Amino acid sequence: MKITTLLAISLGAILTNNFIFAQFLGICPFLGVSKKSDTAIGMGLAVTFVMGLASAITYAVNLLLVALGLEFMQTVAFILVIASLVQFIEMFLKKSMPSLYTALGVYLPLITTNCAVLGVALLNVQNEYNFIESVVYGVTGGLGFLLAIYLFATVRERTEFADYPESFEGFPIALITSGLLALAFMGFSGLQVWPM
């Protein structure tokens, strides 16, 4: 396996095919948790951890499903794996980091239904990644989510004190801001790391 393949997967997951700005997956927690940068970092780290771990476990689950001829059960099996992982993480955070658990509040269970986590598992199968590529894609996809939610949270913190029309208050200014950030990330789509 070439290091350039892993680098291409990593840069693609973080910049060019960012789950938030390019694939529009995981928008619910992105808009809900991105009001403060410290909460956004906690959510981004939790999603990164879940995406990496889910990629590893769903790779093994997928091998089992293929061996048994049950490929049609992938989505259901992946949802069960992700829901179980989030429950364990929720219990861990409640015991070891109660402040982060309280800060994330209702958004922590949203990781269970975060389509970015399910999306990474399904994209690993669709792209036919091996185990290492799957884990790299999961972790770097989570880091791309973390980057997106942190950038958006810092911009939202500043827009609270900005002067804009009253009709843009709340979600309208958030959606305009996220659209502008998505346009900025589109600039990476022509990125060529090394000559072909």
Q: What per-residue confidence (pLDDT) applies to 140?
A: 95
Spatial contact of 111 and 136, defined as CB atoms under 8 Å apart: no
Model confidence over 115-164: pLDDT tens digits?
Answer: 888 899 999 999 999 999 999 999 999 999 999 999 888 888 888 887 88
Average pLDDT over the chain, rounded to an integer: 84
Question: What CA–CA distance (Å, rounded) separates 89 from 102?
Answer: 14
Question: What CA–CA distance (Å, rounded) separates 165 from 111?
Answer: 33
Q: What's the pTM? A: 0.84
Confidence bin at 193 (pLDDT 50/70/90): low
